[in-house]
Amino acid sequence: MLDWIYKEPSAPWIWAGIIIAFAGFFLAVMALPTVFQMILGKPQVLVEFKASSQDEYKALQCHIANKPINCGFLRKLGVTRQATHITASISVYEEGTKKPIREHAMLLINQGAGESVEIANLTTVWPLIIAPFGKEKETPAFINDGNGKVEIAPGYYTVELFILCEDRNKIIVEKGLHVGQKMSDLWWRD
């Protein structure tokens, strides 16, 4: 009844099978860059805390970057890191007592040139900069959010930086903060 299964196929069918196998292999190789892009091209947000000072002013900054693709094989396949839109807020608590000083303060994001915005496009080309804390020479330190400046008394604080990406990826980074009387007494702690 099923004798036709055990018979050798004729020559045209063998060639058709070989051609179909090569076409399938060729299509699979063509789809590899797309698969790698979907899996490995997602944004990877990195946060680095730095200080910047000029003559009369010191600012504590958060540099937010989108990690580039470093693997040569993936770059040859054309895999690039996707850009993402982000927004950031900050919460400041007293160290030890956890008393909130400011919670979920929306931060303005500097994209390099132009004015600061609440929602910024994060690419692999240039990091975004947020400067949530500042101090002028003879004035108290302050939190600089979208609603103005809030003074901070000297002491030790815990800072939570909350970053929300457009793909609903949430990043929470916690860092220590030291505020003193002098401009040089404002720094990030580990």
> For residue 169, how many other CB atoms are within 10 A of its CB?
14
Pair (24, 57) in one structural domain = no
Angle at 144 between CA 141 and CA 148, to 5 degrees: 110
**pLDDT score at 6:** 67
Torsion sign across C-alpha atoms 161, 175, 58, 92: positive
pTM to 2 decimal places:
0.78
**pLDDT score at 186:** 87
Domain assignment present for 120 = yes
Pair (62, 137) in one structural domain = yes
**pLDDT score at 4:** 61
Pair (15, 57) in one structural domain = no
- Total tally of structural domains belonging to the chain: 2
Pair (24, 107) in one structural domain = no
Backbone angles phi, psi at 38, to 5 degrees: -65, -40
Pair (93, 172) in one structural domain = yes
Domain assignment present for 4 = no
Domain assignment present for 1 = no
Calculate the alpha carbon distances from 131 to 56, 58, 118, 121, 162 in Å: 16, 10, 13, 17, 14
> For residue 171, how many other CB atoms are within 10 A of its CB?
15
Return the H-helix or E-strand segment holding 17.
Answer: helix 11-40
Domain with 22, as residue range(s), is 10-38
- One digit per residue, the tens of pLDDT, for the chain of length 190 reads 566 666 676 777 788 888 999 999 999 888 888 888 888 888 999 999 999 888 788 889 999 999 988 888 888 888 888 999 999 999 999 998 999 998 888 888 888 777 788 899 998 888 898 888 888 877 888 887 767 778 888 999 999 999 999 988 899 999 999 998 887 788 899 8
Pair (97, 77) in one structural domain = yes
Backbone angles phi, psi at 121, to 5 degrees: -90, 120
CA dist., res. 157 & res. 137, Å (int)? 21
